[in-house]
């Protein structure tokens, strides 16, 4: 399994802690945040590849947090998660650049597949940027 770092943002402590525990057992590096403000501070100071982000939270909701993540660190991929069916928030999230939108409860294997897909997309984007930089450096006169 490819190792990558995940920030799980959910105001439901039990769900967040259990998800972190289950993903850590699978060899992934996970941390948790209980609200949007805490998540944004962790993203400012940390190095995460993927964020699993609850849509409905007190304070900043998931869509607002997603908007700020994409402004601060656009390469981080975000998988939106909700226990409340809301087509509008799903559409808003996808328009803002969310990788995908999932409904709670979710089984571990489908969740893992989405997180891996989000990480692969981030990695491909990073490689594309690096290759473009190499090409620019090659054509610059010395």
pLDDT, residue 92, reads 75
> Residues of the chain whose pLDDT is less than 70?
1-2, 85-90, 140-142
pLDDT, residue 1, reads 52
Q: Please report where in the chains the tokens 């597949």 appear, as a residue.
A: 113
Tokens of 135: 């090409």
pLDDT, residue 44, reads 97
pLDDT, residue 135, reads 84
pLDDT, residue 86, reads 62
Decide: helix, strand or coil at residue 76: coil
The answer to whether the beta carbons of residues 76 and 43 sit under 8 Å apart is yes
Q: Please report where in the chains the tokens 């328009």 appear, as a residue.
A: 95
Domains of the chain in sequence order: 5-139 (3.40.50.2300)
């Amino acid at each position: 399994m490819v190792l990558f770092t995940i920030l799980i943002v959910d105001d439901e402590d039990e769900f967040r802690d259990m998800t972190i525990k289950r993903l850590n057992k699978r060899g992934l590096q996970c941390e948790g945040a209980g609200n949007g403000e805490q998540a944004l501070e962790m993203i400012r100071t940390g190095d995460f590849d993927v964020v699993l982000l609850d849509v409905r939270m007190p304070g900043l909701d998931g869509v607002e947090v997603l908007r700020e993540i994409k402004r601060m660190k656009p390469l981080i991929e975000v998988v939106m998660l909700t226990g409340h069916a809301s087509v509008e928030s799903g559409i808003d999230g996808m328009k803002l650049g969310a990788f995908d939108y999932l409904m709670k409860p979710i089984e571990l294997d489908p969740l893992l597949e989405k997180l891996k897909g989000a990480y692969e997309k981030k990695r491909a984007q990073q490689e594309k940027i690096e290759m473009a930089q190499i090409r620019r450096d090659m054509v610059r006169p010395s």
